[in-house]
Structure 1
Amino acid sequence: MCVKRQHKWISSSLNVEKQRMRGGFPVLSSIVANPTRDVTVMSSEQKVYDVVLKQAALVDRELRSRDALDLDIKPDIAVPGTLSLLGEAYDRCGEVCAEYAKTFYLGTLLMTPEKRRAIWAIYVWCRRTDELVDGPNASHITATALDRWESRLEDLFSGCPFDMLDAALSNTVAKFPIDIQPFKDMIEGMRMDLRKSRYENFDELYLYCYYVAGTVGLISVPVMGIAPESKATTETVYNSALALGIANQLTNILRDVGEDARKGRVYLPQDELAQAGLSDEDIFVGKVTDKWRNFMKKQIKRARTFFDEAERGVAELSPASRWPVWASLLLYRQILDEIEANDYNNFTKRAYVSKAKKWLALPFAYAMSMMHLKTPSSLAKA
């Protein structure tokens, strides 16, 4: 029974204007010595990797004791009068997902009902969190408001949801081995958006990308499930899920350079800009030059490297979960192609994948989901 406060299961009136979802590697550099101070500084990759290890261990404890790695879902607790409300809560989450993530929603329909509903609940919480700093009321959001949102998160993990949409997620985290840390880390990413508009190097940007997008991968793996025939370690699958989140967010950043600049934000490594002979002023002016093209080529190459890493893990997911993830991966990769097609003008042109290309990608994503260990990269090499 909830004792912290009186909670109501009420339909939340989400501010649902169109928005961009914010939407890793295994550790590339772990610990570096700081020559100016006699201390050891942990890199962002190591910090994130420690979270990955914790999440993988949690899933291992739940799943490795059985022959199959796919999740044996706990049944809903039959409290009189609540199951119908819970069903309504999940249905509402599905409606939001269908309206604002149409392609992904179609993919979720191939999942089992339990997994489908859980992914809807996760999507809606992530969307609501993102809209706190990127939605119509973003100008009124303070650090205190985010603290309250985190307190509310802790309540729903304790089985005390505040409203109907929280109830769906509360039920989901009770049924799957999902830890609270990635959720808290996503909220931390929102805090970064309130206080930070520049990133000195990729190490700083990597941590931000993990907070706002890599976390989604860590949260989703226990629901997606790992294929029973997979020989990959849980840690490997988590690393690939993290890589997909990082790749998607880097793609968002490269697509939205002009839009972010008009808000006074530059989500690009400052040291790499300087090495390319560029500055914030060049971005604010918004002129495509050879320097900018060369800089963008390197940024796009990095994003594609993360997508390549993500491919390995998608192939290890349970068969019913692969299609929506493949669809997301392939469509986001195409945004990078569109940036190139626009001659790297992401100042005044927004790269987007046409509806025709989206529909063409779906059957290919489905075909890939049916071929367990074959990825686009491996097929290209065959």
Structure 2
Amino acid sequence: MSAVLCVVCPRVNACDHSLPRNYCTQRRCSSNNKLSSKPSFSSGVSAYSRAVANLSRSSEERVYEVVQKQAALVREHRRESELDLKKPVENDGTSTGTTDWNRLNEAYERCREFCADHDNTFYLGTLLMMPELRRAFWAISVWCRRTDDLVDGPNATYTTPKDLERWEKRLNDIFEGRPCDVYDVALSDTASKYPIDIQPFKDMIEGMKLDLTKSRYENFDELYLYCYHVAGTVGLMSVPVIGIAPKSKASIESVYNAALALGIANQLTNILRDVGEDAIRGRIYLPQDELAQAGLSDEDIFCGKVTDKWRSFMKGQIKRARMFYYEAEKGVSELNLASRWAVWSSLLLYRQILDAIEANDYNNFTKRAYVAKAKKLISLPVALGRALKGPSKLAS
């Protein structure tokens, strides 16, 4: 596990799992929060699910509430900035607290070192950003990595639900301006500068709780919610820092949905890449119902044999992940130019892991898919070209 949308028709074949789940949120992104007058397949499946199952809200609907909350926070921030005639917060290089300036610089420098040591690919991507933005990303990334380490790090076997509760209390202190250590100082400062909602951070902690208690996911609805908790949340944390391009005509919700899709896509890619490694720890992050439909079981995962059934199953899973990347692409073009290149680079590089899985003949049991350095370098100018194209007409 790692700590940064689908048109489905009610009559679609149950074995077609290729399309992302939350495409329908794109249709709910008008400024007045009403559904589009043009009906969509995905809005139909939501109504179909409620009418037939009459169960609790889908994972997609629950996550969309967080998207709406974050969008409302951004709108309020914009109104306050306009009324007070202040510069945009993302261009403000000063701290709003009383923290000593030298201590603050030291905090961000420690975050930079942490990122460089733990995730070199991510760190190199941040170097494509403006200095103030990269500092904020380092602070957020460090918190996410430390949170992830609670359940996947060297001392993960000693982590208890109580530890995560204490971590959440510490998170509240960070957002209230009471940092505990040097890394917390950086995140507290970042949270004071940007319209970042605390909910995605809390939701990530919920994802860590799932890893302590849950090792199987019955269907994609369950897996989607897990992917949101541990990775989709990163997208919602990041957009307030990156900012939306002034010329963008897209709704705030649609841009956040695209960021969410990128996080989901990245996590699905992690899951598909790490099937063998997760199996060693007794975890299977694949929808149980889809495995059964493909004629596969947990035992097949633990045996780790690449069969025709497995190849067919993996093709469908990869197709779904790519559809999430496709939806993410629509929103990347709406981001501020200062960070667009870095985000495009991240998307293109991570998506190539899926190509590597295919190149390994779908053997994600004993072969780890990775992207060669040469391919990474080739992707950078491609990402730059896409970044320079500017905002699209996502709102329509």
CA-based RMSD of the aligned residues comes to 2.1
Which amino acid is 1:51 matched to? Answer: V
> Which 5+ residue runs of structure 1 have no aligned equivalent?
1-19, 376-382
User: Does residue 62 in structure 1 map to residue 43 in structure 2?
Assistant: no
- What displacement does 1:78 show? 6.5
Out of 26, 30, 44, the residue aligned to residue 59 of structure 2 is 44
CA distance in 2, matches of 1:122, 1:178: 11
Which residue does the alignment assign to 2:30?
none
Q: Is the helix fraction higher in 1 or 2?
A: 2
- What displacement does 1:370 show? 1.6
Which residue does the alignment assign to 2:117?
99
Matches within 5 A, 1:328-347: 328-347=346-365
Matches within 5 A, 1:80-95: 82-95=100-113
- What displacement does 1:222 show? 0.4
- What displacement does 1:108 show? 2.1
Which residue does the alignment assign to 1:147?
165
Which amino acid is 1:159 matched to? Answer: G
User: Does residue 21 in structure 1 map to residue 2 in structure 2?
Assistant: yes
Summarize the Cα distance change of 1:78–1:270 in structure 2 as closer, same or farther, 3 Å threshold. Answer: closer
Which amino acid is 1:181 matched to? Answer: Q
Q: Which deviations, in whole Å up to 9, do the C-alpha atoms of 1:3-46 show, x marking residues without a partner?
A: xxxxxxxxxxxxxxxxx73355443454644868xx64100000
Q: Which deviations, in whole Å up to 9, do the C-alpha atoms of 1:123-145 show, x marking residues without a partner?
A: 10001001110110000100000
- What displacement does 1:168 show? 0.4
Matches within 5 A, 1:199-218: 199-218=217-236
8 Å Cα contact 2:3-2:231 kept in structure 1: yes
User: Does residue 292 in structure 1 map to residue 307 in structure 2?
Assistant: no
User: Does residue 187 in structure 1 map to residue 205 in structure 2?
Assistant: yes
Which residue does the alignment assign to 1:310?
328
Which residue does the alignment assign to 1:379?
none
CA distance in 2, matches of 1:73, 1:316: 21
| Percent of matched pairs sharing the same residue | 65
TM-score by length of 2: 0.84
Which residue does the alignment assign to 1:15?
none
Which residue does the alignment assign to 2:339?
321
- What displacement does 1:114 show? 2.0
Which amino acid is 2:76 matched to? Answer: R
Describe the SS at the equivalent of 2:56. strand
8 Å Cα contact 1:69-1:226 kept in structure 2: no
CA distance in 2, matches of 1:174, 1:63: 15
CA distance in 2, matches of 1:304, 1:326: 15
Matches within 5 A, 1:224-373: 224-373=242-391
- What displacement does 1:368 show? 1.8
8 Å Cα contact 1:98-1:105 kept in structure 2: yes
Summarize the Cα distance change of 1:70–1:309 in structure 2 as closer, same or farther, 3 Å threshold. Answer: farther
Moved over 6 A (4+): 67-70
Matches within 5 A, 1:130-145: 130-145=148-163
> Which 5+ residue runs of structure 2 have no aligned equivalent?
5-21, 26-41
Which amino acid is 2:3 matched to? Answer: R
- What displacement does 1:87 show? 0.6
CA distance in 1, matches of 2:130, 2:349: 23
CA distance in 1, matches of 2:46, 2:67: 14
- What displacement does 1:77 show? 3.4
- Which deviates more, 233-242 or 106-115? 106-115
CA distance in 2, matches of 1:372, 1:318: 9
8 Å Cα contact 1:70-1:225 kept in structure 2: no
CA distance in 1, matches of 2:338, 2:78: 18
Which residue does the alignment assign to 1:14?
none
Summarize the Cα distance change of 1:374–1:285 in structure 2 as closer, same or farther, 3 Å threshold. Answer: same
CA distance in 1, matches of 2:249, 2:89: 13
Summarize the Cα distance change of 1:367–1:103 in structure 2 as closer, same or farther, 3 Å threshold. Answer: farther
Describe the SS at the equivalent of 2:151. helix
Out of 80, 83, 96, the residue aligned to residue 77 of structure 1 is 96
8 Å Cα contact 1:73-1:176 kept in structure 2: no
Count how many residue pairs are aligned between Structure 1 and Structure 2. 353
Which amino acid is 2:176 matched to? Answer: S
8 Å Cα contact 1:63-1:71 kept in structure 2: no
